[in-house]
Amino acid sequence: MDALVDRFTDFLVVEKGLSLNTLEAYTRDLTRYLLFLKRKGVSNISDSDTVHILRYLIALHKEGLSARSRARQVVTLRGFYRFLNDEGILKANPALMIDIPKWLQNLPDFLQLDEVEKLLAAPDRKTPLGMRDSAMLELLYAAGLRVSELITIRSQAINIDAGFVKILGKGSKERIVPVGFTALKQIEEYLKTARGRLLKGRKSAYLFVNRSGNCLTRQGFWKLLKRYAAKVNIEKNVYPHTLRHSFATHLIERGADLRSVQTMLGHVDIATTQIYTHVARERLKEIHAKYHPRG
């Protein structure tokens, strides 16, 4: 179970870009929970269920843990079990029915449009790697992909003529996402010139490849993304999910309906997508405060 915690924290660093303090808090929460399971005779995470989680939360209450601290534990456990379910380690998510208090749900970080444009222009497209990176960044933002979806896209999944990409998302659920002209043009140019130079005669089923002819790792893509963000002086903590959040926020801000955004993101529950309406409202408040004479 300790190895699973390590995999989960690695995921939080790469995909979520969490700070060291937050990671330490997650690790403490999970260590405490796993010790509780071991005391109850549960040595394999697949043997745990919703009842164990509820009993754990009751035990924390009896120990005098505050409501806020217990709520943070719920966030940790929901994230951990969701990760295990998405990775295929667990067939079901026993924490799915455990609600997170609304006051604890944070608004996602996203980039303003000018910041996105600077980031997308950062790679040096005169080199094969720069052309690849440019195409990847464009597609990540154009289709609102998860980083795991981006790095594992197969070559046949992109249809340049029709203007869409076929994505195999969480739980092996397939979705079709439209892709704009700019991203398609970058991908087409990468396919015609850079991909073959990177493969050097090797064959690969993946659309985006590294110098070895393999797909990039999540960690590898995260590192190059941070490098490009630093290159164009974006001070925010940019991670792959930031562009996914930006994709959804910018669509909602410009009038896209929630159901369409839900479909493109691959969210099972529209409640997950609704967070972006809050982001848009917060953005409108900022604009009003900045530009209204009595803001």
Active site residues: 146, 170, 241, 244, 267, 276
> Residues near 209 by Cβ (< 8 Å), separated by ≥ 6?
132, 195, 198, 199, 215, 216
The single residue listed with the structure tokens 């043009």 is: 185
The rounded Cα 178 to chain-centroid distance in angstroms is 19
Separation between Cα atoms, residue 184 and residue 165, nearest integer Å: 10
Q: Own/partner pairs for 230-236, CB < 8 Å, 24+ apart?
A: 231/122, 232/118, 232/119, 232/121, 232/122, 234/111, 234/115, 234/118, 234/119, 236/109, 236/111, 236/115
| Length of the chain, in residues | 295
C-beta separation of 155 from 207 below 8 A: yes
